[in-house]
Structure 1
Amino acid sequence: MEKAPYIKQCREGDSEMIKCFIGAIHHLRPYLAQGIPEIELPSVEPFKMEELTLSLTTGPNGYRVSLKDIDVFGASNFTVRKMRLSDENRPFESVINIPVLRINSRYESSGVLIILPASGNGTFNGQLEGVEATVRGRTSIKEKESLKYLHVDALHVDLVVRNIRLLVKNVYKNNAILTQAINLFLRENGMEVFKVMLPQLRKKLAVLFMSIANSLLSHVPLEAFYLPKGQ
């Protein structure tokens, strides 16, 4: 079977199989950045999310924000720091570091912020620095036309960030006072905003990562990932 250029093979029985698997995943990075048309895998630069809805203050006039048409840049610049393969009792686990994720989106807001009516819309930009993602999941093997394929059945993502910067621009009617108030709030409460965002972000990233993995795995049989012993 001819090996696809985005596949880096590992030798069966290799005493450093984990190290080889990590190298094979790192080999994928430029292909993920460019996309792989032959398996209908689009570029992850940016990867796109439809919407995140955030309630940032409480009360009947609480400040609420919807982020829409979200583009996230930087996901292909990852490093797998640790990996544990699954067995019968435990899921697989990987710890992945990403230096910076940049978020660009539209936003719509409603409610009151720092005594100001804050309903409006504009552009939202975020920068997540020092991102660490812990990815856990379970896999199964599917058979198709006498070949075996790995399939990711479930995925869970935890995220930790070292620093976060959030900013709005192009606020409705170029309201300078509202722009300053929102950016002051975001600057002083960036980590709290991230915590509100996190449950939705984890779910959306898990769906996205699982889709990427299965797009690749459904096109490449298990035997294509391995070199037989002695070769």
Structure 2
Amino acid sequence: MLKYLTIVAAVMQLTYLAQAEAPEYIRQCRRNDPKILDCLSKAVEHLRPYLAKGIAEIELPPVEPFKMDSLALQLTDGPQGYKITLKNVEAFGASNFEVKSLKLGVNGGEPFKARIIMPKLKIEAKYTSSGTLLIIPASGGGDFHATFDGVTADLTGKTSLRGKYLHVDALSLVLDVDKVNMSISRAFNNNRILLEATNLFLRDNSMIVLEAMQPQLQKKLATEFGKLANQLLKNVPVEQFYED
């Protein structure tokens, strides 16, 4: 009988250890590490290749490309003001990030903060436009292209512990971009005058267009990042982020 109980206990212990083993996409840290913030930053960066391709076992979708539904922009004022709607927005390069700084919330109420940089983001979308641009009627549609160089994302959020899982309750994001280049193609039935006029406007006013995009873009990015984070966190008990 004692031998039987010993075997059962051993099997239960092995089962527990198997369950507690962290998946390969989790880089563990030591709680008492004096440089734990550096370790946690590296743990986030360790996720990059897994985020790029997605993690099927936890139903985490790939972030390459990172997809958003739509953005609506009013670029000039007046009854014939120039408006652009972007749909099927895809961003490439979001997984190529570096964590520059990280500050954890304490006392269960203070927010966490992180600064993430991405060398380049490329945006592809379908667009429709209406109104007048540079005194030329410019209603139509086509392909929209943008390149953001030197992207910094400052994130602020709050988390809570739900049982044995961490949850992101709120997340906000502020983007800063060093350089922007925007253009369109396959628009206005390839009317050269309209194409050149629109691309001239976008080339000379890329930062203004980005400013018009920012409120919606930041809100949508924060929402989608929060969803991705929670999809990961709800599948990994908080204890598995630590090796002691």
Instruction: Please give the alpha-carbon distance, in whole angstroms, between the structure 2 residues aligned to 1:87 and 1:172.
Output: 55
Q: Is it true that 1:202 corresponds to 2:218 in the alignment? A: yes
Q: Equivalents in 1 of 2:96, 2:237: separation in Å?
A: 26
Number of equivalent positions: 224
Q: Distance in 2 between matches of 1:191 and 1:222?
A: 41
User: Matches of 1:166 and 1:25 in 2, distance apart?
Assistant: 31
User: Please, which of 116, 121, 133 is the counterpart of residue 96 of structure 1?
Assistant: 116
Q: Secondary structure at the match of 2:24?
A: coil
**CA distance in structure 2 between the partners assigned to 1:222 and 1:13 by the alignment:** 16
Secondary structure at the residue paired with 1:12? coil
Whole-Å separation in 2 of the counterparts to 1:184 and 1:221? 52
Aligned partner of 1:183 among 186, 196, 199: 199
- The structure richer in helix per residue is 2
Q: Deviations over 1:139-167 (max 9, x none)?
A: 00001xxxx11000000000000000000
CA drift of 1:197 comes to 0.2
Pairwise CA distance, 1:90:
2.6
1:169 aligns with 2:169: no
Which of residues 146, 159, 162 is equivalent to 2:175? 159
Q: Distance in 1 between matches of 2:28 and 2:173?
A: 26
Residues 72-111 of structure 1: pairs in structure 2 closer than 5 A? 72-88=91-107, 89-111=109-131
Match of 1:63 among 82, 98, 103: 82
SS of residue paired to 1:152: strand
Moved more, 203-212 or 84-93: 84-93
1:159-188 superposed Cα distances (whole Å, 9 cap, x missing partner): 000000000000121111000000000000
Structure 1 residue ranges, 4+ long, deviating more than 3 angstroms after superposition: none
Normalising by the residue count of structure 2, what TM-score does the alignment of the two structures yield?
Answer: 0.91
**What residue identity is the alignment partner of 1:213?**
A
Deviation at 1:191, TM superposition (A): 0.3
Does 2:72 match 1:15? no
Paired amino acid for 1:116: I
**Which has the larger Rg?**
2
SS at match of 1:105: strand
Find the residue that maps to 1:20 and give its secondary structure.
helix
Whole-angstrom CA distance in 2 between matches of 1:193 and 1:27: 34
- Give the Cα separation in 1 of the matches to 2:76 and 2:94: 30
Alignment partner of 2:230 out of 214, 218, 224: 214
Q: Which amino acid aligns with 2:28?
A: Q
**Superposition deviation, residue 117 in structure 1:** 0.4
Question: Gaps spanning 5+ residues in structure 1: where?
Answer: none
| 1:22-48: CA deviation from partner (whole Å, max 9, x where unpaired) | 010010000001110000001100010
CA apart distance, 1:227: 1.0
| Structure 2: 5+ residue stretches without partners | 1-19
Residue 118 in structure 1 maps to residue 138 in structure 2: yes
Distance 1:129 1:90 in 2: 32
